[in-house]
Amino acid sequence: MSKKAIGIDIGGTGIKGAVVDVKSGRLLSERFRYQTPVGGTPKAIANTLKELISNLPNPQGLPVGICFPAVVINGVTMSAANVSHDWIGLDADRLFEKELKTTVHVLNDADAAGLAEAKYGAAAKQKGLVVVTTLGTGIGTALIYNGKLIPNSELGHLQIDGFDYESQAAYSAKERENLTWAQWAKRLQKYYSTLEALLTPDLFIVGGGVSKEHEQFLPLLKLKTPIVPAENRNSAGIMGAAYWAKKHTTD
């Protein structure tokens, strides 16, 4: 029991969750997925989480980690992406603890993916600064230094050429503009070169659903910094959230 936690990944369209062995990162249960309630209000999402957890094996007493599409400071959601604006300024830890009747710790979704890579994936045992990016509707980022998370980096919103550059370089831009891999890679080159100049990282990790097609675009990038695909894809948020919950419950 001491090595287990529940990880839940809340997105704009889906909510996924499972029981996780936080020592290995292995999922110990089926990964359940529910549609995110229309409007994404706090009460509706909390009710969905209750239903999800009720289907997990022996969930009683397990801490719950929840990753969420927002800047999260001490459990308070300071922004909201693709969910209700009622989340802005809300003490999400307190809300979920009241509704779920257990210990809950909320963190940013990209930070959870970064933690999964740091503890169980491509950044395990990596020294120095690792920048984890998730390419999807936007660009999520996580900074990991010597295995420790530096939370709430929002480096997808760098201003480059007069643009909030996730609007140009996220995977959604490739789809929206019907860009070839080579055309998209030129935009990614500009984005990662800017990050490289600002931060001089030791490693870039690229996640998001498109990372499974990394051979189509990563070899086209010319960087000084090594850049590799994420190892934990669809379960990264669940794994990182569970680790976060267990760490903050036992510390």
CATH value at residue 139: 3.30.420.40
* pLDDT score of 251: 53
Q: How far apart are CA 113 and CA 110, in angstroms?
A: 5
Whether residue 89 is contained in a domain is answered as: yes
Q: Are residues 24 and 47 in the same domain?
A: yes
Over the Cα atoms of the chain, what is R_g? 18
Q: Which of 176, 174, 177, 162 is nearest to 220 (CA)?
A: 174
pLDDT tens for residues 47-58? 999 999 999 999
Q: Are residues 42 and 130 in the same domain?
A: no
Q: Which of 251, 248, 249, 233 is nearest to 25 (CA)?
A: 233
Whether residue 145 is contained in a domain is answered as: yes
- The overall average pLDDT reported for the chain is 96
Q: Are residues 138 and 100 in the same domain?
A: no
Q: Cβ-count burial of 29 within 10 angstroms (0-12 exposed, 13-18 middle, 19+ buried)? A: middle
* pLDDT score of 250: 63
Region of residue 146 (left: phi > 0; alpha: psi -120 to 50; beta: else)? left
Q: Which two tokens stand for residue 212?
A: 């499974």
- Contact residues for 154 (Cβ-Cβ < 8 A; gap 6+): 71, 141
Q: Which of 128, 130, 90, 98 is nearest to 231 (CA)?
A: 130
Residue 1: pLDDT band with limits 50, 70, 90: very low
The more confident residue out of 20 and 137 is 20
Residue 26: pLDDT band with limits 50, 70, 90: very high
How does 189-223 read in b/e, with b if 16+ C-beta sit within 10 Å? bbbbbbbbeeeebbbbbbbbebbeeeeebbeebee
Whether residue 115 is contained in a domain is answered as: no
Instruction: Tell me the mean pLDDT in the region 168-173.
Output: 97
State the pTM of this model: 0.94
Q: Are residues 67 and 141 in the same domain?
A: no
Give the number of domains in the chain. 2
Range of the domain at 206: 122-229
Q: Are residues 92 and 132 in the same domain?
A: no
* pLDDT score of 205: 98
